[in-house]
């Protein structure tokens, strides 16, 4: 419609020029033909743009339908197996490892390192203990519990005995220092637990910067040698070569990291966990499903 109005306006201008200046009819027909050709070309360009946009929207719609069909197919199959499995085993509470394995088969990926960021509430030893064993049943190798209040650090031995005493899944749970990532060889089903505090975050990076500065002053290191790879390697050596956490769950009602490992968590997916006392296996499985659906596209 806009193009049509423009063409009419151009024609009106041409006729007005004839009336006022006395332009010949041949010149007027030439102007009319040029205007008509320009309008046809613009309409052709708009038609192609409309076709491209329609084709793009159609492809996007088809892709969304296929993705939804795949997702709900997996969901229905999982629910059917869960329904058929539960009555035979009288619920998942008696054998949580088998129940988690049922869902494990439908997850495209599992994190190697899971981090738990405790919020403003006090640490719930029972909820954290369940989380450790559920993570081990999911074949997660590392779990780090970050307590910015340092309550767990003050009672780390009591928490360790509580977790080992409440073992619900066969396997080995190893508590390691924040700077140690040694393996417990000989155990197929095992998980390594670290208790972290604020000192493992920004202060660790500050200490590394101080060390690098001293090495430069002593001539042991050149300024052009300091890059992202060097810092990443040094921090990895300081933390026992434990891989960076792929996913971190935070407790409470606030989305806050409370100073949690700013360097190691630059590519971490943060997922809300909710209050610790309401954290059940269904919530844990929901975290795994959310992470499995995440698609990380790393820029260059």
Alpha carbons within 13 angstroms on the beta-carbon side of residue 197 total 10
Q: What are the percentages of helix, strand and coil residues in the chain, rounded to 5? A: 55, 10, 35
How many other β-carbons are positioned within 10 Å of the β-carbon of residue 270? 17
Token readout for 267 is: 């590519």
- pLDDT single digits (tens) 116-126: 999 888 999 99
Strand-pairing partners, residue 146, are 117, 196
Write down the mean pLDDT value for the chain.
Answer: 78
Distance CA 289, CA 273 (A): 13
pLDDT at 266: 86
| Residue ranges of domains in the chain, CATH in brackets | 93-198+241-293 (3.40.1180.10)
Q: Which range has highest mean pLDDT (15-24, 33-42, 138-147)? A: 138-147
- pLDDT single digits (tens) 168-224: 788 889 998 755 555 555 556 789 999 999 888 888 889 999 999 999 999 998 888
Contact 114, 102 (CB under 8 A): no
Instruction: Compute CA distances 29 → 11, 16, 35, 55, whole Å.
Output: 10, 13, 10, 39
- pLDDT single digits (tens) 252-300: 888 888 989 888 888 899 998 888 888 888 889 989 999 988 877 665 5
Token readout for 177 is: 């220092």
- Nearest in space to 204 (alpha carbons), one of 192, 214, 212: 212
């Amino acid at each position: 419609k806009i193009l049509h109005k423009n063409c009419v306006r151009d024609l009106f201008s041409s006729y007005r020029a004839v009336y006022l200046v006395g332009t010949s009819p041949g010149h007027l027909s030439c102007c009319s033909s040029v205007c008509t050709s320009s309008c046809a070309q613009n309409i052709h360009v708009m038609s192609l743009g409309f076709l491209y946009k329609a084709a793009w929207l159609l492809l996007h719609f088809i892709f969304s339908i296929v993705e939804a069909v795949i997702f709900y197919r997996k969901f229905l199959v999982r629910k059917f197996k869960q329904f058929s499995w539960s009555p035979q085993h009288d619920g998942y509470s008696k054998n949580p490892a088998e129940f988690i394995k049922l869902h494990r088969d439908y997850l495209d990926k599992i994190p190697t390192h899971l981090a738990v960021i405790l919020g403003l509430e006090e640490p719930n030893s029972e909820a954290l203990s369940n989380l450790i064993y559920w993570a081990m049943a999911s074949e997660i190798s590392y779990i780090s519990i970050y307590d910015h209040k340092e309550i767990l650090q003050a009672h780390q031995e009591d928490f360790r005995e509580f977790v080992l005493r409440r073992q619900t899944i066969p396997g080995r749970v190893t508590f390691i220092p924040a700077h140690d990532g040694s393996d417990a060889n000989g155990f197929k089903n095992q998980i390594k637990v670290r208790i972290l505090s604020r000192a493992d975050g920004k202060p660790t990076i500050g200490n590394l910067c101080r060390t690098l500065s001293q090495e430069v002053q002593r001539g042991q290191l050149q300024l052009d040698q300091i890059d992202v790879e060097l810092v990443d390697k040094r921090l990895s050596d300081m933390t026992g070569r434990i891989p960076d956490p792929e996913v971190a769950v935070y407790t409470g009602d606030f989305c806050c990291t409370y100073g949690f490992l700013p360097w190691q968590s630059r590519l971490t997916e943060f997922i809300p966990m909710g209050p610790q006392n309401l954290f059940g296996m269904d919530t844990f499985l929901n975290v795994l499903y959310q992470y499995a659906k995440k698609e990380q596209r790393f820029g260059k």
